[in-house]
Chain A
Amino acid sequence: MKHRYLPMTESDKKQMLDAIGVESIDELFSDIPEKVRFDRQYDLKPALPETTLVKELSALAGRNADSNSHASFLGAGVYDHYKPIIVDHVISRSEFYTAYTPYQPEFSQGELQAIFEFQSMICELTGMDIANSSMYDGGTSLAEAGMLAAGHTRRKKLLISEAVHPEYRDVVKTYALGQSIQVEEIPLKDGQTDYDALSSMIDGDTAGVLVQYPNFFGQIENIREAAEIAHENKSLFIVSSNPLALAVLTPPGKLGADITVGDAQPFGIPEAFGGPHCGYFAVTKKLMRKVPGRLVGETTDEEGRRGYVLTLQAREQHIRRDKATSNICSNQALNALAASVAMSALGKQGVREMALQNISKTQYAIRAFKEAGYEVLFGGPSFNEFVVKCKEPVADLNGRLLDAGIIGGYHLGLTYPELEGHMLIAVTEQRTKEEIDALVQEMEAIHA
């Protein structure tokens, strides 16, 4: 068998076996005990030539409804946003995407500088002092923040708002289970974290208070109040934030956050059925040596030229092994690059304009639903999501919306039993006024 990825020829093989001094390749595997050797062939689907492979995978892809073929109003942590075309051109440069972690800085200045720029941009948006080079996603990043808080304060309890993404909360709980940390949920009050409840729940065991800004329902909470409660108790204040919203909102760093985490997916990263996205992790200066994952720092070479290296590596698993601050090794470097390109393309003006469009279109949609006689829940300000009480079961509704070319919202009853029959609707800058009107109309038509 010949294959385009395998350059070995018969004459190469013979010369190499001769140089090694063996008769056959099999001899090189003679150290595998006979008893466990695999003595048949893998039972796999047959190999496909390139064109057939593309056809077959295109057919599979074609069976999915996507946000190009449909108008998507689904958010809940993953959004259909404007992706500047240039993003894909930059990350398709294979010097970036076929490189490993930049362990040899002289050969990896491009990647290292790009990460340094990513760290800087995340600091700008979040108002934090230090950002790392990325985490797997927003959920594991939040979990790592909780673990950092427990390690830093030597306390064993986390208080997490029920207004934090339900899947993020689940991830936090799994990580916490591993480290015997207790997790308690702060209840809701009108779609926001109940700060009075927080005040009564917090105690000397509380390592951290975890909230989301804007929260899972799209509500923009006044988190400064929660920060004060946390700090009075010497607990760390941890904020999970959509970085796009921070273009127009006072950043967590200015509202008392000790750690700000989230997902940079809104910046140029495709939805991709849930991943890969791009977690970010940002802290105040005092937590610098507790940060999980890789950090890039500036330095100089022997001639005094500016250059970049991985730094403060004593925190990391390959040096510290079982004493490391985290086990993370691979991260989401290429998606951090994608986010950097998108943040550069949008720039100082574009992020603000895009965030404002999200707010304005969401306000328009809220008014449209109210005018059509829907109850729109929760009284606080919204970023790009809001909750509507549906007149029919949400799954039925979404099924029929699909036929009308619309991907409907998230059924909140799946994770909040008290919100059965309620839909979380996301309206990004991608949605036109016509599409918003069509959504309201289609929901009405179905109802009628």
Chain B
Amino acid sequence: MHKENQPLIFEISKEGRIGYSLPELDVPETDLSGLLPEGLIRKEAAELPEVSELDIMRHYTALSTRNHGVDSGFYPLGSCTMKYNPKVNETVARLSGFANVHPLQEESSVQGAMELMYDLQEHLVEITGMDEVTLQSAAGAHGEWTALMMIRAFHEANGDHNRTKVIIPDSAHGTNPASATVAGLETITVKSDENGLVDIEDLKRVAGEDTAALMLTNPNTLGLFEENILEMAEIVHGVGGKLYYDGANLNAIMSKVRPGDMGFDAVHLNLHKTFTGPHGGGGPGSGPVGVKKELVPFLPKPVLVKKDDVFTFDYDRPKAIGRIKPFYGNFGINVRAYAYIRSMGADGLKLVSEYAVLNANYMMRRLAPHFDLPYDRHCKHEFVLSGRRQKQLGVRTLDIAKRLLDFGFHPPTIYFPLNVEEGMMIEPTETESKETLDAFIDAMIQIAREAEENPEIVQEAPHTTVVSRLDETQAARKPVLKYSRPEKAEPVAVN
């Protein structure tokens, strides 16, 4: 275990060192004082580090060893689909004709990039069963907001100005209600029933003339398929609302059922989940939005169109909600997703969902004797255990999560969804082998036993990480959000 503080890059800085290579200036140097008014010339240099190239590489290599990714080990973080990130994706995204292309070049000089985008859109249309797809949204939450803005515009275009309510299940991701607020809509919560599914009677109660949309993840965040989806669609469409599909869990159902066929009018996908765009430590992602015909006129600008084998961006979209992002979305992530879809093909994507679901059910059955399983039925790509039994022994789900770190596993998503006490949401994905699943299951069973026999070892975990539990209260109470240089010490007078 490392006992010392890991230095910040500022702390290894030494005056006069450089880590860059710029050519000599080949034109006369401009004198800033002749160009700018005195008040606009920077007086104190920005205190960026002064380090050599090797200093930088060692620093970040050290940081990387203090970080766990999918390539480091199993990462069954529920709802995040932490599957393998194929290396060929990284190679093709770095091709100069993709990486070094400017978004405002003449369209004739970027036809290859536009063709890739168009083809990806076509593939996503087929996978989701929608009529058109835009690649512009930068991430899942951005996609949610984009689609809600379109739904709102659709209602307003129909003179329906009072459709201001978005119905969201109590088990939904936090982005759903937040996106509704940002789109200027209000949230109504619909309850889950004793089977972990949307309570149909409650849905009937909350749906009405003010319903703009129902936002639904299916399978839901418990990993359960909302089998009453057709009845739900009927209820929502019956009152004039739209159905929105949160694609966070699409990995469970590819080739089995399509959002468009279930009655959804709009969908966002997380290309950084199902379609292997790497998570990058929190991003960048890509959150394309697919819609049915009625919503197409409201797609954000510009819309990519193909005419006589030539691709152009169409800005003449009078009903469009406007622009949601500069340029055309996170193209670099879209290239990776396209490479993945082309690697898998239709047969491959079908196996992806089948194996993701098989893996999750296998883990769920093997773990069920050792933990509480609040909803005992076939799950889809993920399942939620409850740590209630262990809590009675004084071991909380947080402790179990921290103890898993000692086994080299990233813990599941914990305390989510909110309707499960001491929840642990486990999503293995299809890229993990049975041996890996078994090793994780063994670790969980051992921790369950420790909770009974030796709870301290769980309560005091982690024991092997580079730091032990961190004081989050202190971090929030006295926020230190940036490096401060130590005050230069005055030379001590010597007599």
Contacts and interface: CB of A to CB of B under 8 A. Distances in A.
B405 interface: yes
A84 B56 CA distance: 11
Contacts of A346: 19-20, 48
A346 B20 CA distance: 5
A275 B98 CA distance: 11
B467 A301 contact: yes
Given A96-B281, A220-B40, A6 B468 contact: no
B139 interface: yes
Given A20-B361, A61-B95, A38 B261 contact: yes
A274 B326 contact: yes
B235 interface: no
Contacts of B462: 106
Most buried by B among A31, A125, A273: A273
Tell me whether chain B's interface is mostly helix, strand or loop, or mixed. loop
Interface stretch (B26-34, B202-210, B289-297, B449-457): B26-34
A106 B8 contact: no
A201 interface: no
Contacts of B278: 97-98, 334
A30 interface: yes
Contact of A64 (B46, B112, B279): B112
B20 A117 contact: no
Interface residues of B, number: 210
B241 interface: no
B350 interface: yes
A273 B101 contact: yes
Interface string B341-370: 111111111111011011101100110000
A224 B39 contact: yes
A341 B57 CA distance: 9
19 contacts: A8-B358, A32-B227, A35-B230, A47-B346, A54-B91, A54-B92, A57-B95, A88-B94, A100-B82, A110-B64, A174-B323, A175-B182, A220-B36, A298-B480, A327-B175, A328-B139, A330-B139, A331-B283, A334-B281
Given A123-B482, A301-B470, A68 B100 contact: yes
B253 interface: yes
A177 B96 contact: no
A321 B178 contact: yes
Given A275-B332, A324-B178, A407 B109 contact: yes
A174 B224 CA distance: 35
B307 interface: no
A207 interface: no
B85 A94 contact: yes
Interface in A95-119: 95-111, 113-117, 119
A405 to B, nearest CB: 12
Contacts of B393: none
A107 B329 CA distance: 31
B123 A170 contact: no
Contacts of A154: none
B141 A328 contact: yes
Interface string B113-137: 1011001000100110100000000
B48 A44 contact: no
Contacts of B344: 3, 5, 47
Contact of B42 (A44, A88, A248): A248
Contacts of B469: 106, 301-302
B331 A45 contact: no
Interface in B461-487: 462, 465-472, 474-476, 479-483
Interface stretch (A134-142, A190-198, A370-378): A134-142
